[in-house]
């Protein structure tokens, strides 16, 4: 990871200007990368992303969010008609349209096994299918997700019984399962989940308190690679930005992987560059100084 820095007239320090191969596509995580706690796209960021688009760079959002909670940000950035990668790569669908490029849910029997694993330990998971989210009932386990997404789950009672009832209908198998857990307890839960399901599912964290399960065919990096292959863009021509462990393989795959400075050490170590500053603002500065002509 480069540590080269120069003075910044806005204050602080920043990486020196890069000379990467021509960037033809830029992929951005949302929460913690483009969005801060206020979950609003800043004006400076919007201008920087639109200038990037104007100079011929394809801009994509690659997020763990549901499609419907990510789409409004894509449209605000002027990305209508472009592929929007959601559910950590389980769904790729055009922003503002119905054209689905990729849809890979978790097989219902395996989803049931994960739910039983969590429920037996006293947890209250969330189940994502279609473009909605279900929970057993209201409670503290729902509130952190609601604060981030603004989406209230549908309360369906016994989740294991609910998913078993859907097992014969593959179109509604879960795209993602999510467990909210305290940050200090998350490493132990994640280790147990990876040991149990890591060979069959993708198990990762987005926010430090969100443990997420997807099909083993799914990750942000895999989805980005599929999209780029379809668009005729090489990895060396891609810049990817993220702040969480669910961004790790995307950062590693891209020719220019950029981690937010508040990201976990594993992500920072894998990145080619670090975007300094808060979400949104730090990305805007990086684009202005390194990617715009």
Is residue 226 within 8 Å of residue 68, measured between CB atoms? no
Q: List the end-to-end C-alpha distance of the chain, in Å, as a whole number.
A: 23
**pTM value > 0.85:** yes
Cα separation, 214 vs 50, whole angstroms:
32
- CA atoms of 249 and 66, how far apart (whole Å): 20
In the 8-state DSSP scheme, what is residue 288?
I
User: Strand ranges (DSSP E) for 77-175?
Assistant: 83-86, 91-94, 100-103, 126-129, 132-135, 154-155
Instruction: Extract the tokens encoding 258.
Output: 């950029």
Instruction: For residues 235 and 112, give the distance between their C-alpha atoms in angstroms, rounded to a whole number.
Output: 36
The pLDDT score that the predictor gives to residue 171 is 47
In 3D space, the residue among 250, 53, 180, 16 whose CA is nearest the CA of residue 45 turns out to be 53
CA-nearest of 23, 7, 12, 9 to 272 is 23
- The side-by-side arrangement of strands in the sheet containing 154-155 is 154-155, 132-135, 126-129, 176-180, 210-215, 201-205
What pLDDT score does 200 carry? 96
Determine contact, residues 132/154, Cβ cutoff 8 Å: yes
The pLDDT profile of the chain, 293 residues, written as one tens digit per residue, is 433 333 333 333 334 445 556 899 999 999 999 999 999 999 999 999 999 999 999 999 999 999 999 999 999 999 999 999 999 999 999 999 999 999 999 999 999 999 999 999 999 999 998 899 999 988 777 777 787 788 888 898 989 888 887 666 544 589 999 999 888 999 999 999 999 999 999 999 988 889 999 999 999 999 999 999 999 999 999 999 999 999 999 999 999 999 999 999 999 999 999 999 999 999 999 999 999 98
- In this predicted structure, what is the pLDDT of residue 7? 34
Beta bridge partners of 134: 127, 154
Q: Environment class of residue 195 by beta-carbon count within 10 Å: exposed (0-12), middle (13-18) or buried (19+)?
A: exposed
Q: What angle do CA 72, 49, 265 make, to 5 degrees?
A: 90
HEC letters along 154-220: EECCCHHHHHHHHCCCHHHCCCEEEEECCHHHHHHHHHHHHHHHCCCEEEEECCCCEEEEEECCCCH
Angstrom CA distances, 232 to 25, 123, 235, stand at 10, 43, 10
Pairing mode, strands 25-28 and 91-94: unpaired
């Amino acid at each position: 990871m480069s540590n080269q820095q120069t003075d910044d007239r806005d204050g602080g320090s920043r990486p020196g200007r890069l000379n990467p191969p021509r960037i033809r596509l830029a992929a951005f995580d949302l929460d913690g990368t483009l969005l801060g706690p206020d979950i609003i796209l800043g004006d400076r960021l919007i201008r920087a992303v639109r200038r990037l688009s104007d100079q011929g760079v394809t801009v994509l959002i690659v997020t763990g969010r549901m499609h419907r909670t990510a789409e409004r940000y894509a449209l605000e950035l002027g990305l209508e008609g472009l592929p929007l990668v959601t559910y950590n790569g389980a769904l790729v669908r055009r922003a503002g349209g119905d054209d689905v490029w990729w849809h890979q849910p978790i097989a219902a029997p395996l989803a049931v096994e994960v739910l039983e694993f969590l429920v037996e330990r006293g947890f209250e998971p969330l189940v994502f299918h279609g473009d909605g989210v279900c929970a057993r009932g209201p409670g503290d386990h729902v509130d952190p997700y609601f604060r981030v997404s603004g989406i209230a789950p549908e309360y369906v009672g016994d989740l294991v019984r609910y998913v078993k009832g859907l097992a014969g209908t593959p179109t509604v198998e879960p795209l993602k399962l999510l467990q909210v857990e305290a940050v200090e307890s998350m490493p132990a839960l994640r280790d147990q989940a990876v040991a149990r399901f890591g060979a069959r599912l993708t198990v990762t964290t987005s926010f430090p308190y969100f443990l997420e399960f997807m099909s083993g065919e799914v990750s942000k990096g895999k989805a980005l690679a599929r999209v780029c292959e379809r668009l005729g863009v090489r990895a060396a021509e891609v810049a990817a930005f993220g702040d969480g462990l669910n961004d790790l393989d995307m950062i590693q795959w891209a020719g220019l992987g950029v981690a937010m400075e508040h990201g976990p050490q594993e992500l920072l170590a894998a990145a080619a560059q670090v975007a300094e500053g808060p979400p949104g603002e730090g990305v805007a500065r990086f684009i202005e100084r390194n990617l715009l002509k």
